């Protein structure tokens, strides 16, 4: 093993949160920072997910960094929703504009992270055997970064091509003339299916759970709207933090769906359907995510839409979701998804009724013995969400005096325990960006990434000013926050769905609702109060001498 390279702070991951953390810690705190990134470029999610049709479901004017007014004025998005190549270009632009690449080591996968309580140092070991040391470790590892292929028997027997949407080949894939299967109908499946169908000779979709899918109503950017948005960016960014989803411009609904007449409801749902977008639709009424009867009115509207678009009514019924309230799994925005099933060469298989038994050398076999032959199989089967990337790294803290060793994976065996989704007790100076217990995945992600990085920057400044070497949450505050996250979720319909928010897509994963769904606005108030009260709920280790983190030149 090589001699450890010393830094003030290490950041794992060069996605949106990692590049911003590098900028803040290096350029604002003056720290000597090293980012370690598994890919050979920046972008994280947008680097890996290159499947056809990949696009953000938050509007491009919102889904961007808010930390630099010049950056937001100079960048122009071509469409209402950014697609993967455009968003990746944008993150690359940010990396170049702020000269960030010189502190990022690419093609470097971190396998182990160990904190030594005696030295107050984190040591990170990479797959290639390099070691890096620093008092501060930021896990900017993403929430949907560990792609998952179900453990189907015969996976290795299939002789055709296989792809996972989250690990798509950089050179792209041409399905022209091929018999293709797509397994999975979450966002990735729904976005890629219309494009794959336009190339393939035949496309067979294996659907286990039908999802609620709304029109994106994507199109070229309206330059007037862009100009208005850019003229008010400062106010909008600020206002976004005071909204439940971290997106401004959607006045909170005041009325229950059950107070409206059926005709009023249909008119409003129709207006939202035409507008496109998920927040607009969920904001039709104030109880769509808390009252099942209210939710049912929205479900029925969408079912009728599906029946009207899809010509074959047997297929239409299969596409009508019937096992979870609308919005409790991530809503998907589509462009031509339902229409795709009107094409003669596109087939839908009900993999709930007849589950996939396994792969064969030629294709897929169902449990009833039906066999299908394919040239290519696309796994749109999702991710080990929220905790997966953290558990992939063997994260430990060691007390060499007492001999105690703590493992994050063991601490989280029954589900993640965090304080605010930012830190976990027993792992000092390890910060997570949008970790479990924060609103991250239920918000405009870039805003939440910036919020956490800014909070961490303020926290490190506080430590510098108050002579503290290390910070970690108390067991009690972490317990209280984790219980609060659960209580808030239990007041909604979210836990009724077997979603990746619940860990339900991974066999054996604890069923715990992981995101904080109390809203970005309430979360902001909480984290600001914690900081204002001297990081209430956290304990500090005093610095024996100015530690590296405290010795920056800012
Ligand atoms: O993954 P998913 P995804 N047999 O977990 C099915 C974000 N994202 O990559 O629902 C048959 O949602 C599984 O079925 P079921 C976004 O937050 C955003 O699509 O478990 N099927 C499901 O249909 C999103 O929520 C965008 O019953 C099996 C599918 O595979 C998150 O990423 C774009 C199966 C997995 O769906 C994940 O989306 C893309 C089996 N054995 C992604 N195992 C934007 O637009 C699994 N499935 C921003």
Question: Under 8 Å CB-to-CB from 517, ≥6 apart: which residues?
Answer: 439, 442, 488, 489, 492, 494
Q: How far is the CA of 332 from the centre of ligand 1 (A)?
A: 10
Which string of DSSP letters, residue by residue, matches 175-212?
Answer: -TT-EEEEE--SHHHHHHHHHHHHH-SEEEEEESS---
553 compared with 244, residue with greater pLDDT: 244
Q: Which of 355, 368, 387 is CA-nearest to residue 150?
A: 355
The per-residue pLDDT for 3 is 86
Question: Under 8 Å CB-to-CB from 15, ≥6 apart: which residues?
Answer: 42, 43, 44, 45, 46, 47, 91, 140, 142, 145
**Alpha carbon nearest to ligand 1 atom 28, residue:** 184
Is the confidence at residue 2, as pLDDT, over 80? no
Ligand 1 contact, 382 CB (< 6 A): yes
Ligand 1 contact, 145 CB (< 6 A): no
* Chain CA centroid to CA 358, Å: 29
Question: Under 8 Å CB-to-CB from 74, ≥6 apart: which residues?
Answer: none
Backbone angles phi, psi at 487, to 5 degrees: -60, -40
Ligand 1 contact, 184 CB (< 6 A): yes
Q: How far is the CA of 184 from the centre of ligand 1 (A)?
A: 6
C-alpha–C-alpha distance, residues 307 and 31, integer Å: 58
Query: Is residue 545 within 8 Å of 24, Cβ to Cβ?
Result: no
Q: What is the pLDDT of residues 54-103, one digit of tens each?
A: 999 999 999 999 999 999 999 999 999 999 999 999 999 999 999 999 99
The per-residue pLDDT for 252 is 87
The model carries a pTM of 0.96
C-alpha–C-alpha distance, residues 420 and 516, integer Å: 9
**Alpha carbon nearest to ligand 1 atom 17, residue:** 330
Ligand 1 contact, 187 CB (< 6 A): yes
Helices (H), 310-383: 313-319, 337-340
Backbone angles phi, psi at 478, to 5 degrees: -65, -45
Number of neighbours of residue 376 by Cβ within 10 angstroms: 18
The per-residue pLDDT for 549 is 46
Ligand 1 contact, 443 CB (< 6 A): no
How does strand 104-105 pair with strand 110-116? unpaired
pLDDT band at 554 (very low <50, low <70, confident <90, very high): very low
Is the confidence at residue 548, as pLDDT, over 70? no
C-alpha–C-alpha distance, residues 82 and 22, integer Å: 24
Query: Is residue 186 within 8 Å of 208, Cβ to Cβ?
Result: no
Measured from the CA of 152, which atom of ligand 1 is nearest? 41
Ligand 1 contact, 208 CB (< 6 A): yes
How far are the Cα atoms of 201, 359, 361, 451 from residue 365, in angstroms, in the given order?
A: 20, 6, 10, 47
Measured from the CA of 185, which atom of ligand 1 is nearest? 23
Q: What is the pLDDT of residues 202-238, one digit of tens each?
A: 999 999 999 999 999 999 999 999 999 999 999 999 9
**Alpha carbon nearest to ligand 1 atom 16, residue:** 187
Ligand 1 contact, 56 CB (< 6 A): yes
Q: Positive or negative CA dihedral for 280, 285, 290, 296?
A: negative
* Mean per-residue pLDDT, 517-522: 97
Ligand 1 contact, 213 CB (< 6 A): no
How far are the Cα atoms of 122, 167, 188, 351 from residue 409, in angstroms, in the given order?
A: 17, 25, 28, 32
pLDDT band at 544 (very low <50, low <70, confident <90, very high): confident
The per-residue pLDDT for 552 is 42
Ligand 1 contact, 190 CB (< 6 A): no
Q: What percent of the chain has pLDDT over 70?
A: 98
Q: What is the mean pLDDT of the chain?
A: 96
């Amino acid at each position: 093993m090589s001699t450890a390279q010393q830094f003030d702070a290490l950041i794992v991951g060069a996605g949106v949160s990692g590049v911003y953390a590098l900028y803040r810690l290096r350029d604002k705190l003056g720290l000597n920072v090293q980012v370690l990134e598994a890919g050979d470029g920046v972008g994280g999610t947008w680097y890996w997910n290159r499947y056809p049709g990949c696009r953000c479901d938050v509007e491009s004017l919102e889904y961007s960094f808010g930390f630099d007014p010049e950056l937001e004025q100079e960048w122009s998005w071509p469409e209402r929703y950014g697609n993967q190549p455009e968003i990746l270009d944008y993150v690359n632009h940010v990396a170049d504009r702020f000269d960030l690449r010189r502190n990022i080591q690419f093609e470097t996968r971190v396998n182990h992270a160990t904190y030594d309580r005696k030295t107050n140092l984190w040591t990170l070991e990479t797959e290639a055997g390099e070691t890096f040391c620093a008092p501060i470790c930021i896990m900017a590892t993403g929430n949907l970064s560990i792609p998952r292929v179900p453990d189907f028997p015969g996976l290795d027997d299939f002789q055709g091509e296989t792809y996972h949407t989250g690990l798509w080949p950089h050179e792209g894939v041409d399905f022209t003339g091929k018999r293709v299967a797509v397994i999975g109908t979450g966002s990735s499946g729904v976005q890629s299916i219309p494009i794959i169908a336009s190339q393939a000779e035949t496309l067979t979709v294996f659907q286990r759970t039908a999802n609620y899918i709304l029109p994106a109503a994507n199109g070229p950017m309206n330059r007037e709207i862009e100009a208005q948005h850019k003229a008010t960016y400062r106010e909008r960014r600020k206002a976004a933090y005071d909204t439940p989803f971290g997106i401004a411009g959607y006045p909170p609904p005041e009325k229950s769906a059950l107070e409206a007449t059926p005709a009023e409801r249909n008119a409003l749902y129709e207006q939202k359907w035409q507008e496109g977008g998920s927040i607009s639709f969920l904001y039709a009424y104030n109880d769509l995510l808390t009252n099942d009867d209210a939710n049912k009115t929205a479900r029925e509207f969408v079912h009728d839409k599906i029946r009207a678009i899809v010509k074959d009514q047997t297929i239409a019924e299969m596409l009508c979701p019937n096992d979870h309230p609308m919005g409790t799994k991530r809503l998907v925005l589509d462009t031509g998804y339902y229409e795709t099933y009107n094409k003669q060469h596109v087939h839908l298989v009900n993999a709930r009724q007849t589950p996939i038994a396994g792969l064969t050398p030629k294709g897929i076999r169902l449990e009833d013995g039906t066999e299908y032959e394919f040239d290519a199989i696309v796994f749109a089967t999702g991710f080990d969400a929220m905790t997966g990337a953290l558990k992939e790294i063997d994260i430990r803290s060691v007390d060499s005096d007492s001999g105690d060793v703590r493992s994050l994976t063991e601490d989280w065996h029954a589900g993640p325990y965090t304080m605010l989704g930012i830190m976990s007790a027993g792992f000092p100076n390890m910060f997570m960006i949008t970790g479990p217990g924060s609103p991250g995945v239920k918000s405009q992600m870039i805003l939440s990434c910036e919020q956490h990085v800014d909070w961490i920057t303020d926290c490190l400044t506080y430590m510098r000013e108050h002579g503290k070497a290390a910070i970690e949450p108390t067991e009690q505050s972490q317990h209280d926050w984790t219980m609060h996250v659960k209580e808030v979720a239990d007041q909604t319909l979210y836990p009724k769905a077997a979603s990746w928010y619940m860990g339900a897509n991974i066999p054996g994963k604890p069923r715990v609702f992981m995101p904080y769904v109390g809203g970005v606005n309430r979360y902001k108030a909480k984290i600001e109060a914690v900081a204002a009260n001297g990081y209430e709920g956290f304990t500090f280790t005093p610095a024996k001498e100015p530690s590296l983190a405290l010795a920056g030149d800012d």
